[in-house]
Amino acid sequence: MNFLRPTLLTLACLMALPSHADDLPSLGDASSAIVSPQQEHQLGRAWLSLLRGNVNQLNDPQLKDYVETSVYRLAETSQLQDRRLEFILIDSRELNAFAAPGGIVGVNGGLFLNAQTEGEYASVLAHELAHLSQRHFARGVEAQQRMQLPMMGALLIGIVAAAAGAGDAGIAAIAGTQAAAIQEQRRFSRQNEQEADRIGILNLEKAGYDPRNMPTMFERLMRQYRYDAKPPEFLLTHPVTESRIADTRNRAEQAPKGGTEDSKRYQLIRARVALIYEGTPGLAAKRFQAQLDENPQQDAARYGLALAQIKGGRLNEARENLKPLLAKAPNDITYNLAQIDLDTTNNRLADAQQRVERMRGLYPGNYPLQQARIDLLLKQNRPAEAEKALDALLKNRPDDPDVWYDVAEVRGLSGNTIGLHQARAEYFALVGDFDQALQQLDYAKQRAGNNFVLASKIDARQRELMEQQRMVKDMMR
């Protein structure tokens, strides 16, 4: 990991500037004149590519699909006008979620470990979307013109360091920042937080959730981390106080009861995340088995146990645990994906393929199912068909570096060397390494030889990436 690149720090400093305005921004306000929505979009994509190159990520298709689907559900009823969202799932068990300018939504794995219900999870994301919809970044730029924040760079270094996994360094940098600057920043942050809470509660209700989930989440976090010397990053940037809890509770209680509090799918996703952060599949299996012993009807625990057994090579036991789940819900996509994984791992490829085809009839556009089919095709030594399936997947996920990574691997297996270098170039561009991306296109162009049409196409893409690289450097001077 390239720890805290100067360009990333500069962009992070812009991202976290505090807000001074109380009223909601309008299309003609000063903040829009200083930083336009399109500039925010470009800034956010630049920041995302750099962040991807600096933190470890969770690449589980089912987890990615859940986060994207749930956030878009919230966005549909939010005040967010520009819904060109991009996501990053950070491989960290620390509690955190954030929204960056330009529609970047980040979620740590630790959010699922701490949010015990879907409503609690949604309350955090609704709050973050409110930061985006109210354009707190652009309004912060406007506010910064009217005040001086000495040592702001040191404060932001701490925030980025913590996001990159260096919690101790991050907290030390925050503690070392001048007290007056921190006090001023917190004053403006409280305004933003109150506004995001208020807008987030309204959005939760409109999206069909019970808004009482927000104060419930805050109350539990305050109890859990009240005496911690090193609280999680989310609580450093979103301080939870008694007055804040009381305010959100009062607002939430005005809404009628009856909204969604939890869902089976969320609990299944939580089981997947819990497995990721267990030390070994054996330890995970023991934990899920203990939950089942306590409540034999807990489907999420049985599902987690089956996943742990697949991962630990206890395939017959996994099959027995999946049977009652599939008998209860034969068309459930999550259970069927687990069975496909089991059959593929157990080399029962014909069974896996039959199930994949049946599920494709029910869920033709499902991203995790598409990925499972690609994995199965590779296991069957059918790289040409896998490449075709990945090309189809790219139409819906053209900015997903995980997909481009797979495309490069499959093109290499099928002997498509030029396509391999082109795919690697797209992958490197998406993770902010433009030099490597341009080098891969040089390799592709050398292979193109006398194919003038292909060489011209590669030249054009090189020019586009060089322009992106120049634009990123200009934005972050």
Active site residue 128: yes
Cα(312)–Cα(130) distance, integer angstroms: 42
Packed helices 61-76 and 118-133: angle between N→C axes, nearest 10 degrees:
60
193 is in an annotated binding site: yes
Could you count the other beta carbons within 10 Å of the beta carbon of residue 414?
17
Give the residue from 74, 121, 92 showing the smallest Cα distance to 217: 121
Catalytic residue among 86, 120, 128, 233: 128
Both tokens assigned to 28:
């003609």
The SS3 of residue 97 is strand
Segment (H or E) for 57: none
Both tokens assigned to 404:
């481009």
Catalytic residue among 86, 195, 197, 210: 197
Q: Tell me the backbone φ, ψ of residue 174, rounded to 5 degrees.
A: -65, -45
DSSP 430: H
Cβ atoms of residues 181 and 152 within 8 Å: yes
Both tokens assigned to 466:
């060089």
Both tokens assigned to 354:
């039959």
Residues facing residue 99 across a β-bridge: 105
Count of alpha carbons within 13 angstroms of residue 228, beta-carbon side = 13
Q: How many residues does the chain have?
A: 477
Cα(260)–Cα(386) distance, integer angstroms: 39
Count of alpha carbons within 13 angstroms of residue 400, beta-carbon side = 22
Residues facing residue 89 across a β-bridge: 107
Cα(326)–Cα(164) distance, integer angstroms: 40
DSSP 99: E
Give the residue from 266, 94, 265 showing the smallest Cα distance to 165: 94
Residues 6+ apart with CB under 8 A from 399: 86, 430
The SS3 of residue 454 is helix
Cβ atoms of residues 185 and 155 within 8 Å: yes
Could you count the other beta carbons within 10 Å of the beta carbon of residue 20?
18
Q: How far is CA 366 from the centre of its chain?
A: 18
238 is in an annotated binding site: no
Cα(83)–Cα(32) distance, integer angstroms: 17
Cα(209)–Cα(306) distance, integer angstroms: 30
Binding-site residues for Zn(2+) sit at 127, 131, 193
Binding-site residues sit at 127, 131, 193
Catalytic residue set: 128, 197
